[in-house]
Amino acid sequence: MNGEATCEGRNLSFGFPANYGVSAIRKSGLHSHAGAWERVKRMSSIVSIQSYLQKACRAVLGWGCCLALAACSESDEVGEPTQVLLEPGMVYVPSGEFVMGSDKTDEKGLQKEFGFVKPLYVDEHPEHKVYLEGYQIDKYEVSNADYKEFVVKTRYQEPLEWIQNGYNVRWEILERSSAERLRTVAREYFRLDRDINQMGKEDLLNELAKMQRQRDAFPVTGISWYDAYSYCQWRGKRLPSEAEWEKAARGEHGQEYPWGQRWDLSKTNTGEGEAQELTLMPIGSVSGDVSPYGARDMAGNVSEWVDDWYEPYPGSSFESEAFGAIHKVVRGGGAGVGHYAISTFFRAARRGHADPSALSTDVGFRCAKD
C-alpha cells in the first residue's frame, strides 16, 4: 500500500513505509480487539488534534485507517496528517516560523567588566525569522546511563572522566573483589566520603551501588562532537541543527529564556545558589527550566553540542577566525562557569562554539529526529 490510504476514491499519502500499519499493529498487539483500549493507554505519547476517540480508532482499525478517517472527517482538503507518533522521551516542535538570533548589544559593558575576549551578542546578529518543518527533540539531555548503554553495546570508548571516577567499572568485577580491594576503589576512584576502614564488603558494595545509581541520572559530559554524533546515529536519531535547538528552547516568538523574558536564577542550574551543592544536577531536576515545548534543562546544567558549524548568520557583518567549518556550535549554559554565571550565558539565543574534538566537563548533548 506504500503508506497510502483511500478516502472516497482519493489517495492520502502519510509518508509511512509499506505495511507500516500492519507491522505496527502486530508489534503492539493491537490486532486483537480484546482489551484494545487498555493497550492504547499504555502506548507512547501521541500529539494529536483529534479527540481521545482517535486513540480507540487506532486500537481497532490500525494507524492507516485512523489517519484516513481523521483526514476525511476534518476537511475535504488533503493536508498534513494530524497525528505524530512520538519517540519515548522526546517532545514535538511543530512546523512554522520562529524568531532566531537577536539584535541585542552590550549596553552594560559586560565584556570589559569581565574581560571576555569575544564581544557579547554580535554573533547572534541579525535577528531573523526561520521556517522549520516539524521535528522531535529529546526532552532531556542524554544521561550517563543512556550513554553507558551505548558504550557497552557498541564497545565505544568511554569518557575519560568515567575511568578516573570509577563509573566505567563493571559491577561483576566489584562483586568478585575483596573488601580490601573495594576500599581502595572506593577511596581512590569513587572518592567515597565515608569512613571506609571498618566497612565490610556488603556495606561497601551497597555504597558503591548507591553512587552509581546517582551518577546514572546526571548528564553525560566529557564527550566530543563526534561522540555525540555517533550516539545519536546509534539511537536512530541525529544531533539537532542550531535552528532546531533554538526554536525548541525559546519558542516561536523569541523568548529570552526557555521560561520567558525575565532572568530568574532559581529556574535553572547555573552551578551557584544556596540550594545547589553540586555543580551538575540530575537531568530534569530543576522544575523551572522548561521550554514552551516541554524540553528541559535548555538554559543550564550543561551546554550542548548541535550539528552545525559555527558560521555567521545571513546578513551579519561579524567576522571570526572560528568561522569556516572549524568549530561546531555549542548551545545553552553550563553549570561549570564559576563566577561567570551571569544571565547572558543562559540566554536561548546565545551561541558558543568549540573544536569538535574538544572535551569539557560541562558540555553534553541531546538528540533530535524528523
Q: What tens digit of pLDDT does each residue of 215-249 get? A: 999 999 999 999 999 999 999 999 999 999 999 99
Same domain flag for 340 and 243 = yes
Same domain flag for 258 and 109 = yes
For residues 138 and 274, the model is more confident at 138
Confidence of residue 273 (pLDDT cuts 50, 70, 90): low
Same domain flag for 206 and 227 = no
Does 126 sit behind a cis peptide bond, omega within 30 degrees of 0 on the bond before it? yes
Given 216, 231, 252, the domain boundary residue is 216
In our burial notation (b when 16+ CB lie closer than 10 A, e otherwise), range 158-185 reads: bbebbeebbbbbeeeebeebeeeebbeb
Same domain flag for 356 and 271 = yes
Q: What is the pLDDT, as a whole number, of residue 176?
A: 87
Nearest one of 36, 93, 96, 42 to 62, comparing CA atoms = 36
Same domain flag for 130 and 273 = yes
Q: What is the pLDDT, as a whole number, of residue 172?
A: 87
Same domain flag for 155 and 108 = no
366, three cell numbers: 541531546
Q: What is the pLDDT, as a whole number, of residue 340?
A: 55
Q: Which domain holds residue 197?
A: 144-216
H-helix or E-strand containing 234?
Answer: helix 225-234
pLDDT average, residue stretch 122-150: 98
pLDDT average, residue stretch 303-308: 98
d(CA 144, CA 215): 7
Given 196, 216, 236, the domain boundary residue is 216
Same domain flag for 312 and 178 = no
* Amino acid at site 307: D
25, three cell numbers: 499493529
Same domain flag for 135 and 231 = yes
d(CA 141, CA 145): 11
On whether the CB atoms of residues 363 and 304 are closer than 8 A, the answer is: yes
- Classify 12 as helix, strand or coil: strand
Q: What is the pLDDT, as a whole number, of residue 22?
A: 31
d(CA 207, CA 202): 9
CATH number of the domain at 228, please: 3.90.1580.10
Same domain flag for 102 and 250 = yes
Same domain flag for 137 and 155 = no
Same domain flag for 149 and 130 = no
Render pLDDT for 152-204 as a digit per residue (tens, 0 to 9): 999 999 999 999 898 988 888 888 889 888 888 888 888 888 788 888 889 89
pLDDT at 63 over 60: no
Same domain flag for 231 and 351 = yes
Give the DSSP letter of residue 355: -
Given 185, 216, 247, the domain boundary residue is 216
**Which of 185-194, 291-300, 343-352 is predicted least confidently?**
185-194
Nearest one of 71, 62, 74 to 26, comparing CA atoms = 62
245, three cell numbers: 535547538
